[in-house]
Amino acid sequence: MKKTLRMLLGLVILASILLSACAPPPPPVSKNQLEVAEQEAIAAEEAANEQCTATMEMESKIAAKQAELNDLKEYKTELETKRK
């Protein structure tokens, strides 16, 4: 039983090695395909940079609004303490 299993496993490994060695190589990438992929990558990078810039602008606006809100809360607290 063990010998049969080992022989079967050896045949499977041998077959996989032979099949991978006989497989055709991947098709070469043409210059046009390479240029298109490069242009797409550049466009994606520019879009990511724009989104990053927009995100940083929004975060700075949020921080300014948060600071203004905190100032108003402090002012409200001062007015409430003066009334008492």
1 located within any domain: no
Q: How many domains does the chain have?
A: 1
**The domain containing residue 42 runs over which residues?**
38-84
47 located within any domain: yes
Whether pLDDT at 26 is above 80: no
Give me the pLDDT at residue 5, please: 85
Could you give the CA distance from residue 31 to residue 44 in angstroms, rounded to a whole number? Answer: 20
Whether pLDDT at 77 is above 80: yes
Percent of the chain with pLDDT over 70: 100
CB burial string 23-32: b at 16+ within 10 A, e below: eeeeeeeeee
Least Cα distance to 82 among 68, 70, 74 occurs for 74
